[in-house]
Amino acid sequence: MSDVPAYDRWARLRAATPARIGLGRTGAGLPTGADLAFRLAHARARDAVHSALDFDALAADLAPLPVLRVASQAEDRASYLKRPDLGRKLADGTRLEPLAVRPDVVFVVADGLSSDAVAAHAAEVVHASAARLAGRVIGPVVLASQARVAIGDQIGHALGARMVVVLVGERPGLTVADSLGAYITFAPAPGRRDSQRNCISNIHAKGGLSTDQAAHKIAWLVAQALRLELTGTGLKDDAPALASHSAATQLGQ
């Protein structure tokens, strides 16, 4: 009989997944190390949800791209979390006019449920996607506070955009607290259903999609959506494997 504690025999499985398995126990509870790691992950997830996003720093990271700022009807974080509907609508009195040149794509960056995700990844994803969309008309990047995915429908419609790409902080888990999502909608307008969007999720540096992979998929989906004039269940993500940057850039042309 081996003298190795039973939970150590799970080492190979633990190495293959971020899930908390085979942690062992001390008496009726977890070993101290596992317990402290769980508490730290939980604290990071809570911080990601409740921390305010530094929109000034984000705007600086997005330079030289032009930026517009808006807010949802949720006046504060507590309202945002309790009333999801308020995060889907622009604040009363918000004025957005159709742009002089109709954009093919408008990027909307929303804080969502993880400010950490947006701060860590959003600017890089916008820049990388814009590079792959050379030749397309890209509108100003709209930064939306206390916002959820559907706010992009109202923004894109008001600006006259053919498409909107919403980058939003995803709900943090106990493994990853800084995962970014991208939601792509053709012909944005209030009332669009989730089935009319394409979603790219798990954009992060801890085993998720890299910035380049996410931008490659976004550019491919945008190009196909503009060609087919639809997104959602009718547009399957059949993007080819990530090619060189120069080849990927041609997807947007």
Residue 137: what pLDDT? 97
Residue type, 57: A
What pTM value is reported for the model? 0.85
The one-digit pLDDT tens for each residue of the chain (253 residues) are 455 455 567 778 877 777 887 787 788 888 888 888 888 888 988 888 888 899 999 999 999 999 999 999 999 999 999 999 999 999 999 999 999 999 999 999 999 999 999 999 999 999 999 999 999 999 999 999 999 999 999 999 999 999 999 999 999 887 888 999 999 999 999 999 999 999 999 999 888 999 999 999 999 999 999 999 999 999 998 888 876 444 444 444 3
Residue 64: what pLDDT? 96
- What are the residue boundaries of the structural domains of the chain, listed by start? 50-252
Residue 158: what pLDDT? 97
Candidate CATH numbers 1.10.10.10, 3.20.20.60, 3.20.20.140, 3.40.50.11240; the one for domain 50-252: 3.40.50.11240
Q: What is the DSSP string of 59-126?
A: HHHHTTS-EEEEEBS--SHHHHHH-GGGGGSBPTT------SS--SEEEEEE-TT-HHHIIIIIHHHH
d(CA 46, CA 6): 32
Residue 252: what pLDDT? 40
Residue 67: what pLDDT? 97
Among the listed residues 203, 41, 227, 217, the one whose alpha carbon sits nearest the alpha carbon of residue 129 = 217
